[in-house]
Amino acid sequence: MKRMPAGTQLLLLAAAVAAGCAPRASPPSLDALQGEHAFAETAAFVGLGPKVAGTEGAARAAEWIRGRLEALGWSVEIDEFTEPAAGQPTTFRNVIGRRRGASRQIVIFGAHYDTKDGIPDFQGANDSGSGVGVVLELARAGAGWRWPFEPWLVFFDGEECRVTYGPDDGLHGSRRLARRLVREGLDRRVRAVIILDMVGDRDLTFTLPRNSTPALSGAVLRAAERLRIRDLIRLAPGAIIDDHQPFLDASMPAVDLIDFEYGSAPGRNDYWHTPQDTLERISPRSLEIATRLALATALEVVSATRERR
């Protein structure tokens, strides 16, 4: 960049203001979403170390996410709460970034940021780094957009269970937010909850769980057609427990964008929850596809809602 004399800068600024050149918000753009940026966020996040719920590492991660969102101009709230996890009182923190939208419809893009406990040398590049990187890329690219809905970027704590999934073990952050939306009457405005989890695999295929809202799975398929990645979407043979479930339980439309075949050969999931879940096994290209699919799905849902009116 070349420096100009201060006087010249002032003159140019005055001319721009006179010509009405204040920056105008642009509509969301799928092309603006870049895998390299998502990967850089993921790598930085993984570099923070383990983020087991209730530990110092998780608290640091929440503050780091808050810093990234605030730097990009999002309003941020950390919702801190304490409840038992498998009988052990644990403090959790959801990080929630918000902006205004052109309508009152709400779309939640969510990813858990906590990492699984009890795995020596666990990095969690894909589980949970990839989801965090993707949602932060929506934050970066979308900082100047005129969103057609109110975007909520939510980073959930306590997705991983301590012992085994149950009413007081795992999905703590998503259960907390789903209940709160119902309590505050905001659930009626939620058009879609789109969860991103394990979406960085170099060999990416989305395995849409059976426990997803059918209309939203349909929107994912239409979005995938539009992006010409329909061949990357498959229906999982069964349900998958993930952060979308508490929203389904509270009658909100929710879908889980997840690749639950993260392994050494097609169909295998043997890198999941192992020290093999490293940055070398995820790719900027996969993160880019996941980011675009999430946004394209949201735009499908909101435009379909408009057409029905």
Please give the residue ranges that form the binding site for Zn ion (CB under 5 A). 116, 127
Structure tokens at 259: 């690749």
Residues 6+ apart with CB under 8 A from 276: 270
Nearer to Zn ion, 116 or 176 (CB): 116
Q: Nearest-CA neighbor of 201 among 141, 269, 132, 254?
A: 269
Task: Report phi then psi at 113, rounded to 5.
Answer: -115, -15
Taking the complex as a whole, the smallest distance from the CB of residue 61 to Zn ion amounts, in Å, to 15
**Do 301 and 107 touch, CB atoms closer than 8 A?**
yes
Structure tokens at 17: 């203001």
Question: Hey, what amino acid is at 72?
Answer: L
Question: Hey, what amino acid is at 156?
Answer: F
Nearer to Zn ion, 111 or 296 (CB): 111
Give the dihedral of Cα atoms 141, 288, 113, 149; nearest 10 deg: 50
Structure tokens at 231: 């061949």
Bridge partner residues of 84 (DSSP): 89
Nearer to Zn ion, 150 or 201 (CB): 201
Nearer to Zn ion, 125 or 204 (CB): 125
Q: CA torsion sign, 276 to 263 to 202 to 235?
A: negative
CA-based end-to-end distance of the chain: 50
Distance in angstroms (rounded) separating the CA atoms of residues 114 and 158: 6
Nearer to Zn ion, 191 or 281 (CB): 281
Taking the complex as a whole, the smallest distance from the CB of residue 242 to Zn ion amounts, in Å, to 9
Distance in angstroms (rounded) separating the CA atoms of residues 208 and 254: 11
Task: Report phi then psi at 192, rounded to 5.
Answer: -160, 140
